Amino acid sequence: DIMNSPFTAIGGAEMIDELVNAFYKRVAKHPDLAPIFPDDLTETARKQKQFLTQFLGGPALYSEEHGHPMLRARHLKFPIGPRQAKAWLSCMHEAMEEVSLDPDYREGIFRRLTLTAHHMVNLEDENS
Ligand code: HEM
């Protein structure tokens, strides 16, 4: 039920907007992430807002426009090692703090994102 979803509870589209903007601001500056992302993150952020909306129980915006997420498959063309997963999660953790994501939901959401991030890993770190 949409009214009981974390999406609604944390502040809906407005909060997803703030969170994703705070997140990509960090991705753009992170030495382990910036090189594999496009210079212009506008479209990337738009898709991530759609995805997180449905991931958190809101309307299925991502699937309506792009079909099944198949996230691991969509990430295979990018080199993602444990280092990149850790960087992604640290940018997300900081973004959650910046936007003061509801502490009642933060840990659960972060745990789910951690599982998803580890699922995206498709190569070993070179120097670790
Ligand atoms: C797209 C990197 C984890 C969701 C992308 C793109 C890159 C990337 C380079 C393509 C950007 C573009 O061309 O616009 C990474 C890295 C991760 C990671 C390094 C570290 C583990 C995640 C996680 C999620 C996620 C955990 C889900 C919460 C998405 C979505 C897209 C995307 C929805 C757009 C896919 C599309 O093109 O339709 N990611 N990602 N990513 N990522 Fe990730």
Sequence ranges of the domains in the chain:
2-119
**10-residue mean pLDDT series, the chain (128 residues):** 82 98 98 98 98 97 98 98 98 98 97 98 78
Pocket of ligand 1 (CB under 6 A): 33, 36-38, 43-44, 47-48, 51, 66, 71, 74-75, 78, 80, 84-85, 88, 113, 116-117, 120
Atom of ligand 1 nearest to the CA of 36: 9
Question: Distance between CA 122 and CA 35 in Å, rounded?
Answer: 17
State the distance from the centre of ligand 1 to the C-alpha of 67, rounded, in angstroms. Answer: 15
> Which pLDDT belongs to residue 125?
73
What residue owns the CA closest to ligand 1's atom 39?
A: 75
Question: Distance between CA 41 and CA 81 in Å, rounded?
Answer: 21
Give the number of other CB atoms < 10 A from CB of residue 111. 10
> Which pLDDT belongs to residue 2?
55
CATH 3.40.50.1970 given to domain 2-119 = no
Atom of ligand 1 nearest to the CA of 66: 38
ipTM value greater than 0.95: yes
